[in-house]
Chain A
């Protein structure tokens, strides 16, 4: 009897071995003797991914002993996936991160490597960045991230429609409302907004909060350790957003269209104004062929915050604290942000680079260069609300902003919830 059972077990074992054989052959492929770096970025789109593939290829050619494994996860899924991955035992050596609180929470958890020594060691590298692009990646005066792009948020408008009503790009909120009113009366859809993923409306609120609330108060509130959100400016900012919707300036059904779909609608001329990031300018130009202009969020007369901030933030890469090859990882980041590759970034995919001088009218689309100028001249940047406050506070904002826009919650109710969660967060963050 026992012998037969041994046979049975042997069969099972053989079966298991065959299976393992199948899978290991497909997951291996690393040559021995090489340092393998895992590099996670967030642009799998066919328009952008080739840039990274080419840069990696060039890097590997220069450094034959380093191999880079690229992984790309798109914008929306990466917000969850980064957490899933960081909890794993195969953390990428270099990974994408937004700046601000989004990166700082990884710093608090000791998941991000302190890059200050590497930057100080090579001052030429450090000085090649526009200073405002490194700053949002710092925590307690230490650098934790290397910016790849310097992104800003601007309103783009359809020139033909604006000309039809003899409108100019507004510079104050009152002018903005007048423009919207004229468009509305003319039977146009004044603003396109695709808020299926609620960050789209949160980007409005990012600027409104910054313009309505005094800088020091806002900074205190955005810090998880001291957030209260009791300033009346937060409610007012939200009311202004709600008003745009109530007065019918936004297109209908904002919550059921995606931002991508909004871009198609704008390209088809189905609306006059669209709130986009600098990185989208190239796509807009491809679609509109010069029939567009842009302006930053207009200033608000009774706002307590600085009126010459621009909404936007750099995003880039952090290095895992668990990496076995910090030197090689830095080497790659240096390569990625060297002048040639920065120029390539600007030329090939039209993104604004944080490398000083890389984004200029010769290399970039005229509008992109102008946008970067706006950011350089600005007193400061209002970083994305959903990545600049604690994840739980961000979640309250994100999930309620859709309810604000479908009229089922009032600004006061939402801010009350924000205050409650901010308090909870205070007690949890040591």
Chain B
């Protein structure tokens, strides 16, 4: 790994004692702390305020929105949220849920199987397979946009849920396989060996040892895949045409031009789609962070 001798490094830091007394150090710390807190609070405000503004503006009438951009709503129009939901957000929401769930389940199943095959077996050509799968990580989806559009039409899947699910699965698989494979590699072999001696076949080993042991990474993969699929925009824009099949991000784009004259409802729609993720994040913070940190450890 990177550094085996950091202790040596600390030696380089020569004695740099400041001449100041303890008292002034305290003052310094106070100043530092206050400064930082002001800076961070401002930053936090810059992040939070637009989101709160979004939620509040969603409760305003058009005139209220235009004339009192800043103030609380004159009249709290909860019906805006209902209107946005009825204008299609509700439907898009369910589509997004369905597509996300199916994609995630498929990615987890196929991904964990492939990761198992790539981590617990030794065979010729294994490295080549690994390289092929992992190089899928590097490819930008834009490159595939037009060919996939034609391909999906050719196989008759264009403008169905599958036109989104199948490409999503394919594009999410490499990363999940990569993560699961490195995790499976760290599962001790002894368990597996004793299972084989007991007469378990490879499927049973996968089912009863690898999957249960790999739960944490599978959960992380589920979150990562779920988030990516939920937010995907470009494929969803091109591969389905019926409004009945649209997912939230594209649906919102359309809603903007559909409710062109009612900003309150538009904003309510945006708020409805942002909230579930924010709430999910705050509730499942630990899992989110673990998943994302697992997601970042590449190379």
Contacts and interface: CB of A to CB of B under 8 A. Distances in A.
Would A and B touch once assembled, by the CB under 8 A criterion? yes
Interface of A: 1, 4-5, 7-8, 12, 15, 19, 22-23, 26-27, 44-47, 71-77, 81, 84-85, 87-90, 258, 260, 263-264, 268, 283
B1 to A, nearest CB: 38
A76 B254 CA distance: 9
Could you say which interface size class chain B belongs to?
20 to 34
B136 interface: no
Interface stretch (B52-60, B182-190, B238-246): B238-246
B37 interface: no
B203 A88 contact: no
B92 interface: no
Interface in B34-49: none
Contacts of A27: 160-161, 244-245
B153 A87 contact: yes
Given A1-B201, A15-B109, A74 B258 contact: yes
Given A15-B109, A23-B162, A84-B238, A263 B153 contact: no
A4 B201 contact: yes
B258 to A, nearest CB: 4
A224 to B, nearest CB: 23
Given A15-B109, A45-B259, A23 B160 contact: yes
Nearest to B260: A260
Contacts of B243: 44, 71-73
B156 interface: yes
The DSSP consensus for interface residues of chain A is helix
Contact of B158 (A26, A46, A89, A283): A89
Contact of B241 (A12, A23, A81, A264): A81
B20 interface: no
B288 interface: no
A74 B98 contact: no
B261 interface: yes
B159 A88 contact: yes
A320 to B, nearest CB: 13
Contact of B159 (A7, A73, A90): A90
15 contacts: A4-B201, A12-B109, A15-B109, A22-B98, A26-B161, A71-B241, A71-B242, A71-B243, A76-B257, A84-B149, A85-B241, A90-B159, A263-B261, A264-B261, A268-B67
Nearest to A38: B242
Contacts of B254: 44, 73-74, 77
Given A8-B203, A90-B158, 18 more contacts: A4-B202, A12-B109, A15-B109, A26-B244, A45-B258, A45-B260, A46-B258, A72-B243, A77-B257, A84-B241, A89-B153, A89-B156, A90-B241, A258-B260, A260-B260, A260-B261, A264-B62, A264-B261
B161 A77 contact: no
A392 B242 CA distance: 27
A5 B201 CA distance: 10
Contact of A44 (B63, B162, B258): B258
A27 B164 CA distance: 14
A316 to B, nearest CB: 20
B253 interface: yes
B281 interface: no
B87 A46 contact: yes
B152 to A, nearest CB: 9
Interface string B213-231: 0000000000000000000
Contacts of B253: 77
Contacts of A268: 63, 66-67
Interface string B255-274: 00111110000000000000
A85 B118 CA distance: 41
A77 B251 CA distance: 11
B102 interface: yes
Among B62, B202, B244, B257, chain A packs the most CB atoms within 10 A around the CB of: B257
B66 A264 contact: yes
A312 B58 CA distance: 36
Nearest to A85: B241
A271 B161 CA distance: 47
B92 to A, nearest CB: 13
A84 B259 CA distance: 23
A1 B63 CA distance: 71
B287 to A, nearest CB: 25
Among B156, B202, B258, chain A packs the most CB atoms within 10 A around the CB of: B258
B149 A87 contact: yes
Contacts of A258: 260
